[in-house]
Every structure is written in C-alpha cells, then in structure tokens.
C-alpha cells in the first residue's frame, strides 16, 4: 500500500516538473542578473557608450535601484540614449521601457525648442533602426510642469533619472518633476537618482553655477514630495573629484569645457563624484 502511494506521489511530482518545464521562460528573478549583464555587454551598444562603463558603473547602479526585467521603467530625459541602449533590450521580452524626452514650447526660446525637437527626432530614429533588439520604446514628454504620455497614474514600477536634477533646480522645476514622478509610480515603486554631488552646505547659487547638488537637498525635496529614502549607494563615488572646478562639473570628462587648460588634470580626475539614491513611494 505504502509503496503504491510513494509511486503515485513520484509520478505526481514528476508531472509537476514537466508542467513547469513546458510553461515558458523561467521567472525573471531566476535570470534577472544574467539578463542585465548581457544587456550591458551587448556588442550592439555604441563603442563610445561602452567606453564609459568604467566611469558610469551601469551594473552597480541599476542593481542599486533594484530594477527587474519584468518591470515598467520610465527613464527621464535620456539624452542620446546611453542608458536606453541597456534598458530597452533588458526589458524587451518581459518589461516595458518608456523614455520621457524634453519638450517645453511654453518656456523655451524658438532656438532651444528647435534643438529639443531635433534631439527627439535623433533619439527616435536611433532606436527605431533595430526593433528586434530594442523592442518597442514608448516616447513620452517631460515638461516643466510634469509628464505626459508616459503611462497612467500609478502604472510605473520605477522612474530613473541620471544627472538631471541640477538642470531642474536651475530652471525651478525640480519640485514639479518630483510630484510628477510620484504620480506615475505604483505604490512601492522606486525613484532611482544619480546626480553630481556637492559638499554639504553648498549654497543654491553655487549649485546652479557648478552643477553639483548636496545630497541632503535632494533627500529633503524628495521627502517633501512624499518619497521615502530606501538606500544610498557609493557606486558612482569619485574621491578624486574636489567639486571646485572653474567650469563646474563641466570641467571634467566627458565635457572638458576648459579645453586645453588643465586638461590632463581633469582627465586624470575622471567623471564627477555622484550620489546614487533609491527612493520609494510608500504603499500606504
């Protein structure tokens, strides 16, 4: 009798195993790390972008934000698409990538608006050339007063912003941006921030002039928008950066605004010292 029960149980468990094996790809948690590493190592990324991995630490940064390949992720102001080259293929099979590009006809000059329009066209054209690799990239809009076409309120698992906050502080839109990010995130969703880091107590006028932002300033404004600080990472720390350059953060690579003046010193310093912060929208 017991031998028969054990036999039936063995076949039952074997059947469950066969069902699981035939049910499609494994859950993303089982291979998320491999998918992220593969996206970063892809030879389809531009050579110039891959050359900056040592300074920008994409693996460590995205791991710090806790991203998964089955999420809906909104990247804010992706520029030429440095992180898009990683995130879009990473999310292609199980997730959804949304790029929120700048456009603000109401608050910019005609010349600036034309440049924003051209940048938007270049971004769209670049990633439309290989849909099999990048999948469908949704393109929304970041305005000075918020977001549009990035998804319904409460639809995103993560909103990521890389080195943009100093611009929003300079144009007075930082708090509005934070409120928009909070609105599009699900309860429990993540706001991932990477930003040039100023020494504590740096006055606002110096922040605007230099591009370096105190970490405490970012945390205070994010909390005022309703976010909770979940973690800090030193993935993008650079102790060689003294934060006191004549052309601010733009003295350093990749901009090197000073030209030949002290170029070797700035190249040796490398890219800026940056905070890497993860905030969460509370579930309550």
Q: Is residue 17 part of a domain?
A: no
Q: Is residue 19 part of a domain?
A: no
Position with higher pLDDT, 11 vs 166: 166
CA angle 191, 140, 152 (to 5 degrees): 65
Residue 62, pLDDT > 50, answer yes
Position with higher pLDDT, 6 vs 55: 55
pLDDT, averaged across the chain: 90
The pLDDT value given to residue 144: 86
Q: Is residue 14 part of a domain?
A: no
The residue-averaged pLDDT of 61-75 equals 98
The residue-averaged pLDDT of 227-242 equals 98
The pLDDT value given to residue 114: 86
CATH number, domain at 256? Answer: 3.40.50.150
The residue-averaged pLDDT of 16-43 equals 72
Q: Is residue 217 part of a domain?
A: yes
110 vs 115, 116, 140, 167, 217, CA distance in Å? 9, 10, 21, 19, 32
Closest CA to 82 of 50, 113, 111: 50
pLDDT tens per residue, range 93-136:
999 999 999 976 445 677 778 888 899 999 999 999 999 999 99
The pLDDT value given to residue 104: 64
Specify whether the CB–CB gap between 173 and 147 falls below 8 A: no
Strand partners, 50: none
- Give the count of domains, the chain: 1
Q: Is residue 257 part of a domain?
A: yes
Q: Is residue 255 part of a domain?
A: yes
Q: Is residue 104 part of a domain?
A: yes
Backbone angles phi, psi at 66, to 5 degrees: 70, 30
The pLDDT value given to residue 26: 57
Q: 213: domain range?
A: 53-280
pLDDT tens per residue, range 139-187:
999 998 899 999 999 999 999 999 999 999 999 999 999 999 999 999 9
Number of H helices, E strands in the chain: 13, 9
**Confidence grade of residue 12 (pLDDT, cut at 50, 70, 90):** very low
Residue 28, pLDDT > 80, answer no
The pLDDT value given to residue 107: 57
In this structure, the number of other CB atoms found within 10 A of the CB of residue 73 comes to: 27
Cα 96 to Cα 94: distance, rounded to the nearest angstrom: 7
Q: Is residue 4 part of a domain?
A: no
Q: Kindly state the percentage of the chain with pLDDT values over 70.
A: 88
């Amino acid at each position: 009798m017991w031998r028969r029960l054990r036999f039936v149980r063995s076949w039952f468990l074997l059947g469950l195993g066969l069902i699981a094996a035939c049910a499609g790809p494994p859950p993303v948690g089982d291979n998320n790390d491999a998918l992220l590493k593969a996206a970063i190592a892809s030879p389809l990324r531009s050579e110039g972008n891959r050359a900056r991995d040592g300074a920008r630490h994409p693996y460590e940064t995205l791991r710090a934000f806790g991203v998964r390949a089955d999420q809906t992720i909104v990247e804010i102001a992706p520029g030429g698409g440095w992180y898009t080259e990683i995130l879009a293929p990473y999310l292609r099979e199980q997730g959804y990538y949304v790029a929120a590009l700048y456009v603000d006809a109401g608050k910019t000059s005609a010349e600036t608006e034309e440049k924003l329009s051209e940048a938007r066209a270049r971004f769209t054209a670049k990633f439309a050339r290989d849909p099999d690799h990048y999948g469908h990239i949704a393109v929304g809009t970041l305005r000075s007063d918020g977001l549009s076409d990035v998804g319904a309120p409460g639809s995103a698992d993560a909103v990521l912003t890389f080195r943009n906050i100093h611009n929003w502080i300079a144009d007075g839109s930082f708090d509005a941006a934070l409120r928009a990010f909070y609105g599009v995130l699900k309860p429990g969703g993540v706001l991932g921030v990477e930003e040039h880091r100023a020494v504590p107590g740096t006055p606002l006028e110096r922040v605007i002039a230099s591009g370096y932002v105190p970490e405490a300033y970012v945390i205070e404004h994010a909390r005022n928008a309703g976010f909770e600080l979940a973690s800090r990472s030193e993935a993008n720390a650079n102790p060689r950066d003294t934060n006191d350059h004549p052309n601010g953060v733009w003295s350093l690579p990749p901009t090197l605004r000073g030209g030949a003046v002290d170029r070797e010193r700035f190249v040796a310093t490398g890219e800026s010292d940056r905070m890497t912060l993860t905030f969460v929208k509370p579930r309550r």
